[in-house]
Chains A and B, each alone.
Chain A
Amino acid sequence: EVQLVESGGDLVKPGGSLRLSCAGSGFIFSNAWIIWVRQAPGKGLEWVGRIKSRPDGETTDYAAPVKGRFAISRDDSKNTVYLQMNSLKIEDTAVYYCATGLYQCGGDCYSGWGQGTLVTVSS
Chain B
Amino acid sequence: ETVMTQSPATVSVSPGERGTLSCRASQSVSSNLAWYQQKPGQAPRLLIYGASTRATGIPARFSGSGSGTEFTLTISSLQSEDFAVYYCQQYNNWPPAFGQGTKVEIK
Contact = CB atoms under 8 A, between A and B. Distances in A.
Contacts of A115: 42-43
Q: Chain B interface mostly helix, strand, loop or mixed?
A: loop
B18 to A, nearest CB: 24
B32 interface: yes
Contacts of A97: 43-44
A45 B46 contact: no
Given A46-B98, A63-B95, A116 B87 contact: no
Contacts of A63: 95
Given A113-B44, A115-B43, A61 B91 contact: no
A105 to B, nearest CB: 5
A105 B51 CA distance: 11
A11 interface: no
A45 B44 contact: yes
Interface in A83-114: 97, 99, 102, 104-106, 108-111, 113-114
B55 A111 contact: yes
B43 A45 contact: no
Given A44-B99, A104-B53, A111 B46 contact: yes
A109 B38 CA distance: 15
Interface residues of B, number: 25
A115 B13 CA distance: 28
B100 interface: yes
Contact of A47 (B38, B49, B56, B96): B96
A82 to B, nearest CB: 19
Nearest to B33: A109
Nearest to A48: B95
Interface of A: 37, 44-47, 61, 63-64, 97, 99, 102, 104-106, 108-111, 113-116
Interface of B: 32, 34, 36, 38, 42-46, 49-50, 53, 55-56, 87, 89, 91, 94-101
